[in-house]
Amino acid sequence: MNAQNEFIRISTNDLDLVIRIAQSKRIYQAYLGPKLMNESDFKSLFVSLKGGSEGSVSARGWEVYPASGAEDFFEPAFAIQHNDGNMTSIFRYVSHESKTIDANIKETVIYLKDDVYPVDVKLVYKTFGKENIIKTWTEITHEEKKPVTISRYASSMLYFENTDYFLTEFSGDWAMEARMSTQPLHFGKKILETKLGSRAAMHVSPFFELGLGQPAQENQGNVVLGTLGWSGNFQFTFEVDNAGNLRVISGINPYASNYELNPKETFVTPEFIFTISTEGTGKASRNFHTWARNYQLKDGKGDRLTLLNNWEATYFDFDEAKLEDIMGEAKMLGVDMFLLDDGWFGNKYPRNSATQGLGDWQVNKEKLPHGIPFLVEKAKEKGVKFGIWIEPEMISPKSELIEKHPDWAIRLPNREPYYYRSQLVLDLSNPKVQDFVFGVVDNLMTENPDIAFLKWDCNSPITNIYSPYLKTKQNQLYIDHNRGVVNVFQRVKEKYPNLPMMLCAGGGGRCDYESLKYFTEFWCSDNTDPVERIYIQWGFSQFFPAKAMDAHVTSWNSRASIKFRVDVAMMCKMGFDIRTHEMKENEQKFCQQAVQDYKRLKPVILDGDQYRLVSPYETNHMAVMYANENKSKAVLFAYDIHPRMGEKMMTIKLQGLDPAKQYKVEEINVMPERKSNLRSHGQTFSGDFLMKVSLDVFTTGQMNSKVIEVTAQ
């Protein structure tokens, strides 16, 4: 330790974040990057004077939690208005403590205090050693006489020093989620944010990649991957300052959300979760995947159920007989479960279209006269489990619920309403409404303890922004509503810890790592065209493990063969949403075999390490593989999308195998009447050969695919 500068070291197995406590007691980021060998070198970090020279009044930049009104003229992490109207804060170090939670997890808390106003900030860092993941958030509290107004409340601010910065964002819309695009960052700001309130990630997902020195690449280069655990409005600000340094501020979007914080109340910001890799995005993604399975995802280590969903197969048009038929088809396919989608509820306003009935969670007596228990029983008879769809955060303007509780919907009392998908969002800032939403699940589960799965949808952004409950505190709606949602998620998980649940928001409009504490998986997109899915799944795979990503075989893109559609779904958590009786006999047989093989290979696909081998963004093909932990088994998925005629065919070098082992290569998922035309089918190669020389799997066929099982001998 240097006498004048103390350092706080926050590290994982391969990363260090070093924070310097200056003599002024302000704290600065001194280092963030690959792990340093010697703590004795820390004093030399001071030579680069991050945060300005000691004692100088112009100590600008690199402050860990800079607040409004100080000498740093760029975006602050925090902004406040005190009781006396003053709008400045400077936080100084009070103390810090580190505790070891287990062999892999450590938590460091840094206590800061404004020396002029009674405002305290706690910076919390939780590190996951092996996975090289750092989670960080802040806790803000004060003891002023009256509430203070906080107008910025970042979870984290990080600094990077490089010649060039490249940001990869994941934007899109309904049916076009997680489209990746990369741009250089120059002086000034680039902001990624949403203001949708709920279904908030419809236009942009709450994560980003940063390439330092060069655009992020798969297998080489320095990259940062960051994401916010918040399913409401989020904001990432990337600002290149006058010195050419990049500042990254992550947190809740403060848009229309000046928050009044009562004395002694604590404002806890959402978790910002990040990793840094010196070997490109592939390694960084694997950090996230392993960490999510080990620590964050609901039942991250558990199994996942294959299923047949009736949404695309029937939409709202079904009755008991039709559902029984589909249950039979689920059994025929060999999947674990039948999932009943939208349309099963509402009586005064039957849910026969998306225009009415949300909120009235009583079974529709006309379509399903014997109720849900009867369906659960029928599924049991057919030999499959039963899952059900709900959208409990929403309310239709045509519903009994709104007639009974007109003040439960978020809507303006004095303007014409605007409806998105003919619905409104329930006001989850209201604890009574939270009870109601919890009750939707609880009632279903109490009546039907054998329900094996919930699909929880959320189809509307918040429109007509006015909470009847918050009255004069409308500025807290976006935040309090989302906290209310999470509160219900928590209650559901507490009471039903083993219930698998799918997060859905008109497709992938909600996919954040806070929600995924309470959900086992999420629906990536309503777009199940396998060609589009290749890109969508590539995008989400940057942050989420295959186990969390639901992919179903449907009728979208009928030009694609059943095989191609199955092969694309099989690289994630596979399901079906299609009438099997419309398939040819050989297609049915193919699907049955594919389901069997998938169940056998789930431990590799869902729990193995993922290697993205060939990018659809860079070629007319895509390839991805999974290898299990002891490298005894791998599965390779290779897709030809729209290759050009006469295109130079590339071969694939595998990754993640043991060079010393011998592996047998076998093509699976071959149509029943066909034989594999893979030249290497049935042959054995060393891991060394497969990783250095290659496999020849691509073709110039349109929408052609191969699934290859690689087994150590």
Interface positions with ligand GLA (CB under 6 A): 311, 341-342, 354, 389, 457, 459, 504, 506-507, 523, 526
Closer to ligand GLA by Cβ: residue 132 or 460: 460
Q: Residue 437 CB, nearest distance to ligand GLA (Å)?
A: 17
Q: Residue 197 CB, nearest distance to ligand GLA (Å)?
A: 18
In sequence order, the β-bridge partners of residue 286 are none
Closer to ligand GLA by Cβ: residue 458 or 695: 458
Total residue count of the chain as it appears in this document = 713
Q: Residue 388 CB, nearest distance to ligand GLA (Å)?
A: 11
Q: In 3-state terms, what secondary structure has residue 131?
A: coil
Contacts of 266 (CB under 8 A, 6+ apart): 139, 140, 141
Alpha-carbon distance of 92 to 113, in angstroms, equals 5
Alpha-carbon distance of 215 to 617, in angstroms, equals 14
Query: What distance lies between CA 182 and its chain's CA centroid?
Result: 19
Q: Residue 421 CB, nearest distance to ligand GLA (Å)?
A: 8
Closer to ligand GLA by Cβ: residue 349 or 389: 389
Closer to ligand GLA by Cβ: residue 343 or 484: 343
Closer to ligand GLA by Cβ: residue 523 or 611: 523
| CA dist list (Å): 707 to 128, 190, 542, 669, 671 | 34, 40, 21, 6, 12
Residue 237 φ then ψ, to 5°: -110, 125
Closer to ligand GLA by Cβ: residue 166 or 453: 453
Cβ atoms of 92 and 104 closer than 8 Å: no
The string of DSSP codes covering 337-395 is EEEE-S-SB-SSS--SSTTS-TT--SB-TTT-TTHHHHHHHHHHHHT-EEEEEE-TTEE
Q: Residue 354 CB, nearest distance to ligand GLA (Å)?
A: 6
Q: In 3-state terms, what secondary structure has residue 476?
A: helix
Alpha-carbon distance of 350 to 364, in angstroms, equals 7
Closer to ligand GLA by Cβ: residue 140 or 388: 388
Query: What distance lies between CA 203 and its chain's CA centroid?
Result: 14
Closer to ligand GLA by Cβ: residue 523 or 564: 523
| CA dist list (Å): 599 to 102, 240, 338, 570 | 33, 49, 16, 10
Does residue 544 come out as left (phi exceeding 0), alpha (psi in the -120 to 50 range) or beta? beta
Query: What distance lies between CA 260 and its chain's CA centroid?
Result: 29
Q: Residue 360 CB, nearest distance to ligand GLA (Å)?
A: 15
User: Any idea what DSSP says for residue 403?
Assistant: H
How many other CB atoms sit within 10 Å of the CB of residue 53? Answer: 11
Q: In 3-state terms, what secondary structure has residue 577?
A: coil
Closer to ligand GLA by Cβ: residue 354 or 465: 354
Q: Residue 343 CB, nearest distance to ligand GLA (Å)?
A: 8
Alpha-carbon distance of 418 to 194, in angstroms, equals 19
Q: Residue 351 CB, nearest distance to ligand GLA (Å)?
A: 9
> What is the distance in angstroms between the CA of the first residue and the CA of the last residue of the chain?
53
Q: Residue 226 CB, nearest distance to ligand GLA (Å)?
A: 27
Q: Residue 505 CB, nearest distance to ligand GLA (Å)?
A: 7
Query: What distance lies between CA 711 and its chain's CA centroid?
Result: 31
Q: Residue 370 CB, nearest distance to ligand GLA (Å)?
A: 23
Determine the residue type at 246: L
Closer to ligand GLA by Cβ: residue 237 or 423: 423
Q: Residue 339 CB, nearest distance to ligand GLA (Å)?
A: 9
Helices and strands counted in the chain (H then E): 12, 35
Closer to ligand GLA by Cβ: residue 462 or 710: 462
Closer to ligand GLA by Cβ: residue 8 or 504: 504
Residue closest to ligand GLA, measured at CB: 342
Cβ atoms of 410 and 462 closer than 8 Å: yes
